Amino acid sequence: MIALPLYLTRKYDKIVLNTDLKNIEMDKMKTEKKLPEKLFDVLQHEGVVSIVSWGNDEPHVVNTWNTYLVVTDDEHILIPAYGMRKTEKNINVNNRVKLTLGSKDVLGYKDYQGTGFLIEGTAMYIESGDTFDKMKEKFSFLTRVLDITVTGIKQTI
């Protein structure tokens, strides 16, 4: 009998068992969330969010506010966009983005006064549809919604 390597990976709301012969999907009752609870605490306090994008040129940074970020049930981060034209141009070339955000009002590591996060993800703009309409109700100034799929997150403070 040959022993096959077995790898467990998360795929949305399923657990995928990968072997050399086949993939077997099993429903999982509840998928762990990848966004930490402390991030949600930070989003309840005002602070600056920096969004870094890069296309063919040097990196570009644009800012918004913590309280403008909306996290969906599937952990996308939605950001109302009014300007952000250079960011959109960059995303059309390279959809990877990095965000930093924090608050001095949320305790960090070892009860340090303040905490912050580095978030990495892929981005796209939404210009119509249900998500756009719901965000427009909350942020009347927006012309588009920046939708970020989180691929990594790290608490920095």
Instruction: Give the mean model confidence (pLDDT) for residues 61-65.
Output: 98
Q: Are residues 82 and 129 in the same domain?
A: yes
Q: Are residues 78 and 129 in the same domain?
A: yes
CA neighbor of 78 nearest in space, from 41, 57, 51:
51
Predicted local distance difference test score (pLDDT) of residue 4: 38
How many separate domains does the chain show?
2
Structure tokens at 24: 């077997």
For 44, counting Cβ atoms within 10 Å of its Cβ (0-12 exposed, 13-18 middle, 19+ buried), the class is exposed
Q: Are residues 6 and 79 in the same domain?
A: no
Q: What is the mean pLDDT of the chain?
A: 85
Task: Write down the pTM of the prediction.
Answer: 0.79
Predicted local distance difference test score (pLDDT) of residue 140: 98
**For the domain that residue 54 is a member of, what is the CATH number?**
2.30.110.10
3 state DSSP class of 67 = helix
Q: Are residues 143 and 87 in the same domain?
A: yes
Boundaries of domain holding 21: 1-31
Predicted local distance difference test score (pLDDT) of residue 6: 36
Q: How far apart are CA 148 and CA 80, in angstroms?
A: 11
Q: Are residues 95 and 24 in the same domain?
A: no
Structure tokens at 86: 């250079």
CA neighbor of 82 nearest in space, from 147, 148, 146, 149:
146
Decide which of 1 and 156 is more confident: 156
Choice among 13-17, 29-33, 54-58, 144-148 with the minimum mean pLDDT: 13-17
Predicted local distance difference test score (pLDDT) of residue 111: 87
Q: Are residues 3 and 56 in the same domain?
A: no
Q: Are residues 23 and 44 in the same domain?
A: no
Q: What is the DSSP string of 3-44?
A: PPP-EEEEETTEEEEE-SS-EEEEE-S-PPPSS-HHHHHHHT
What would the pLDDT profile of 32-55 be if each residue is shown by its tens digit? 678 999 999 999 999 999 999 999
Predicted local distance difference test score (pLDDT) of residue 20: 40
pLDDT of residue 24 exceeding 60: no
What would the pLDDT profile of 108-149 be if each residue is shown by its tens digit? 988 899 999 999 999 999 999 999 999 999 999 999 999 999
Q: Are residues 47 and 64 in the same domain?
A: yes
